[in-house]
Amino acid sequence: MAGNHPRATFSANQLPTPSGRTPEDLDAWVALGAVPGLGSATLWNLIRAFGDLRLAWEASQNDLEAAGAPPAAARGVAEARRRTSPAAAMEKLAEYEGRALAWHDPGYPAQLREIPDPPPLLYVKGDLACADYERTAAIVGTRRMTAYGRQVTDQLAGKLARAGLCIVSGMAAGIDSAAHRATLEAGGATVAVWGTGLHEVYPRSNRRLAPQILERGAVVTEYPVGVRGLPEHFPQRNRIISGLSRAVIVVEAPLTSGALHTARYAIEQNRDILAVPGSVFMEGSRGTNRLINRGEARAVASAEDVLEAMQISVSAEQLAMPPLVKPTREERALLQHLTTDPLHIDELSRLLQRPASQVSALLAVMEIKGLVRHLGSAHYVTAQPA
């Protein structure tokens, strides 16, 4: 919903039974959802009080307040009515190739209806059908990803994608973006949950990643077009990341990480919580290690561990990396020095007794072939350990 709003929590018997069809008043849902200050709790109150939200859109301020709308939200509806219309709200959404999924819509994810505070309205681009609950896992973690976190994320997301799982994340910098990219590289489907409206790709560094996600998955948000990414939006959207997923995998997370918010939502939602252990000396592993030590998460070190926890059986062929291009003699000499432990290009230059410029050019070709992987800061690992 637009603007800041308190988190709503409802029990199942407080919410309407889904009709299984797109509501005829969907345009009014979208128009009301875009009113600043009218949060999901207020929209639920209006749905229960009016039934048809076209009546709510036309209601007086007194009637809106009687239905449970705060005075500021009731005034906001009156102001919005003077400058726009439900039809215009739908047109604005269509400008960004988005569509709205209301609570009653058959395309609304059934697993989201189970959580304590489901969004009454979702805005979607792409195909959200890939997020089949039984085969959907979230991979989340810190924005300050280490080389270790990158390696783990690449292997987990890649193998899980090849096993047929849809990977959900928040498209934030760091672990989230790495999970989306590794999934796409493996030919899998992925869903990004945004903390902004569909008009804004956030962070801007992911402007190329967003359309790639739409080719094989979807972008989903509860925020209408025009709402920018505010700090409070991202913890709130985390409940949707966990709500869409059968399991939540935390790769790297310091004690202040938003990924731990996602884990807490997963606990509330009765989802499987999995965490990758790390060094006790690494700041980015303190949150994941604490989840494990407190018994809140099951430790996992591989895609096989994740699939076992989710009770999903796949063949070894599905998990196997695709065949690599046969390396040249020069490339084989370099590969002899690479393992899963990151190695700096200067060290490779020393070991090969070749100028760093030549080694850099060779690594660039090998990365294109899929023989090596660049982890950033001129550190490389083998793409497929023996």
What phi and psi values does residue 292 have, to the nearest 5 degrees? -70, -45
pLDDT at position 327 is 86
Q: How far apart are CA 39 and CA 46, in angstroms?
A: 11
pLDDT at position 12 is 46
pLDDT at position 318 is 62
Query: In the structure encoding, which two tokens stand for residue 315, read together?
Result: 């063949």
Cis amide prior to 203 (ω within 30 degrees): yes
pTM of the predicted protein model: 0.83
What does DSSP assign to residue 370? Answer: T
- For residue 266, the number of C-alpha atoms closer than 13 Å in the C-beta half-sphere is 28
Q: What is residue 28's three-state secondary structure?
A: helix
pLDDT at position 289 is 96
329-382 matches 128-319 in CATH topology: no
Q: What is the pLDDT along the chain (386 residues), one digit of tens a residue?
A: 554 444 445 544 578 888 888 999 999 999 999 998 888 889 999 998 998 999 999 999 999 999 999 999 999 999 999 999 999 999 999 999 999 999 999 999 999 999 988 999 999 999 999 999 999 999 999 999 998 999 999 999 999 999 999 999 999 999 999 999 999 999 999 999 999 999 999 999 999 999 999 999 999 999 999 988 878 888 899 999 999 999 999 999 999 999 999 999 999 999 999 999 999 889 999 999 999 999 999 999 999 999 999 999 876 656 666 656 788 888 888 888 988 788 899 999 899 988 988 889 898 888 877 788 888 788 888 876 54
Q: In what order do the strands lie in the sheet with 218-221?
A: 99-102, 121-126, 218-221, 190-193, 166-169, 136-140, 247-250, 272-275, 298-299
Those residues with Cβ within 8 angstroms of residue 143's Cβ, 6 or more apart along the chain or in another chain: 172, 173, 174, 175, 176
pLDDT at position 5 is 41
Q: How far apart are CA 30 and CA 169, in angstroms?
A: 25
Residue 190 identity? T
Q: Which CATH number fits domain 329-382: 3.20.20.80, 1.10.10.10, 2.40.10.120, 2.30.30.100?
A: 1.10.10.10
pLDDT at position 299 is 97
Q: Which CATH number fits domain 128-319: 3.40.50.450, 3.30.465.10, 3.40.50.720, 3.40.50.970?
A: 3.40.50.450
Domain residue spans in the chain?
12-92, 128-319, 329-382
pLDDT at position 385 is 58
Q: How far apart are CA 8 and CA 10, in angstroms?
A: 7
pLDDT at position 153 is 96
For residues 104 and 21, the answer to whether their CB atoms sit within 8 Å is yes
Q: How far apart are CA 268 and CA 266, in angstroms?
A: 5
Q: Is the dihedral of CA 207, 211, 212, 216 positive or negative?
A: positive
